[in-house]
Structures are given as C-alpha cells and as structure tokens.
Amino acid sequence: MATLTVTPTAGVKPDHFHRWRIDEPNGPVSTGVCRVCGTTKDFKNWLADGDFITNEEHRMAA
C-alpha cells in the first residue's frame, strides 16, 4: 500500500508577504496580483465608498 505524501506548495502558506499590486478601482472590487508569486486576490473597495465608517462616526458624534 503506497502512502501518498502531500507536500505543501505555494499557495498554502507562502513564505513571504504578498506584495499586492492592485488595479485601479473599477467597481466594488479590485484585483490584486502578488508581484512575488503571482497569486491573485480580490480587494473590496469599501474604503473608497466609506459609507459604513462615516455613518458610524456620525452616530458616535451625535
């Protein structure tokens, strides 16, 4: 009976901090690409809208 050993490879636990290069905001989500390993990840642009935080600040100030 053969034993299959799974070796962790890139994508599981990267040994580096991803250096995300993020596209210009083009909607609610931007795609970032790691310049080191090429992994892609979606970033939400909620900061651009800022509704959530703004409302919360106003509520606390009131």
Regarding 33 and contact with Zn ion (CB under 5 A), the answer is no
Residue 34 β-bridge partners = 20
**Residue at 41: amino acid letter:** K
- Determine how many CB atoms are found less than 10 A away from the CB of residue 33: 16
Separation of alpha carbons 26 and 24, rounded Å: 6
Binding positions for Zn ion, 41-60, rule CB under 5 A: none
- Of 19 and 56, which CB lies nearer to Zn ion in the complex structure? 19
Stretch that binds Zn ion, among 1-9, 21-29, 37-45, 49-57 (CB under 5 A): 37-45
Positions that interact with Zn ion (CB under 5 A): 18, 34, 36-37
